[in-house]
Amino acid sequence: MTGGPAATLSRAVDVALDRTVAPGFTALGLGVRRRLPGWPADPRPGVLAGRHVAVTGASGGLGRRTVLDLAALGATVHLVVRDMAKGERVASEVRAAGSEARVWRCDVADLDAVRAFADAFVADGTPLRALVHNAGALPPTRTESPQGHELTQALHVLGPVLMTERLLPALAPEAGRVVLVTSGGMYTQRLAAHDPEYVRGEYSGSVAYARSKRGQVELLPTLAERWAPHGVTVHATHPGWARTAGLDASLPTFSRALRPVLRSDAAGADTTVWVVATEPTPPGGRLWHDRRPRPTHVLGRTRPRPVDVEDHLRWVLGATGLDG
């Protein structure tokens, strides 16, 4: 959006939708933005032909839709899932539409499983255009991963960082793009560098989820710098409020109350697909929502001190064994 009264008005409407949260995160927000001057163009048809993209949590919800929409742009999609049967059902949809798909088993919260999957993928010799970290969960009670880490942190932070590091040999030849699918809930939380494993206080699944998503976003600049020598960019995408089976199960009251204005799965996956497929590569190290870079904080109280970010990174590298 550059130049002229129309562009100025467009920017003002876009920012207003963003800052008021509810309208911007709903189907209304995307519907309005699509009609504003300067809306970024769709990726061209077939742009991903001959390219490979891996998506975690691909057996349902936004992961499934992301896979289907990337395949429609020509990508060979790799579904990284816990349940092979569910993954194969989605892969069958892809193949029925004339595209190629392969299913890999991996529990992203299990760091040993992440290492095994990544090593097998690299050994397979497939170059990756993009790696989409979509797998997610919102447990009602405090749950630990096989390595003893709080589940949301293991699934949303530790597993994705470790997986990306191990897949750098596959991503580097393609100047790969890494996408962390985050959540607007992170706007309510500050970085829990003092208690990343959530061992203090009364546990709340929704707070733990938002804390882990905040952790993803605070790592963006550091991860961008860490992976830049490999030619790999990292991005976070916020899908808005999209209706999925996962949302219905984890936040049923929220889902029922907002059902008339929740986004479709395709609308929720739109920016993730756009970041993967658009040319040229969007600037890395940023949070994206509705195809625009967005601020990572709307409340001053959530801004971390530099030392908190350093402590968080130190914990992530130590927990994943990458500090060695």
pLDDT in tens, 79-113: 999 999 999 999 999 999 999 999 999 999 999 99
pLDDT at 247: 64
> Domain extents for the chain?
46-320
Rounded to whole angstroms, the Cα distance separating 44 from 33 reads 20
pLDDT tens for the chain, residues 1 to 324: 556 776 676 777 777 666 666 788 888 889 999 999 999 999 999 999 999 999 999 999 999 999 999 999 999 999 999 999 999 999 999 999 999 999 999 999 999 999 999 999 999 999 999 999 999 999 999 999 999 999 999 999 999 999 999 999 999 999 999 999 999 999 999 999 999 999 999 999 999 999 999 999 999 999 999 999 999 999 999 999 877 767 666 667 766 766 777 889 999 999 999 999 999 999 999 999 999 999 999 888 999 999 999 999 999 999 999 986
CA distances from 185 to 103, 167, 207, 217, 253 (A): 30, 28, 8, 12, 15
Q: Return the exposure string of 23-41: e unless at least 16 CB atoms fall within 10 Å of the residue's CB, then b.
A: ebbbbebbebbeebeeeee
What pTM does this model have?
0.93
∠ CA 47-30-207 to the nearest 5 degrees?
105
- List the beta bridge partners of residue 146: none
Per-residue model confidence as pLDDT tens digits over 52-79: 999 999 999 999 999 999 999 999 999 9
209 is catalytic: yes
What are the structure tokens assigned to 127, written together?
Answer: 């170059």
Q: Which of 187, 198, 203, 209 is catalytic?
A: 209
Rounded to whole angstroms, the Cα distance separating 110 from 94 reads 27
User: Residue 290: phi, psi to the nearest 5?
Assistant: 50, 50
CA 200 to chain centre: 27
Rounded to whole angstroms, the Cα distance separating 184 from 97 reads 32
DSSP type of residue 157: I
Instruction: Select the CATH number that applies to the domain covering 46-320 from these four: 3.30.559.10, 3.40.50.720, 3.10.105.10, 3.90.1150.10.
Output: 3.40.50.720
Rounded to whole angstroms, the Cα distance separating 236 from 213 reads 10
Rounded to whole angstroms, the Cα distance separating 168 from 174 reads 10
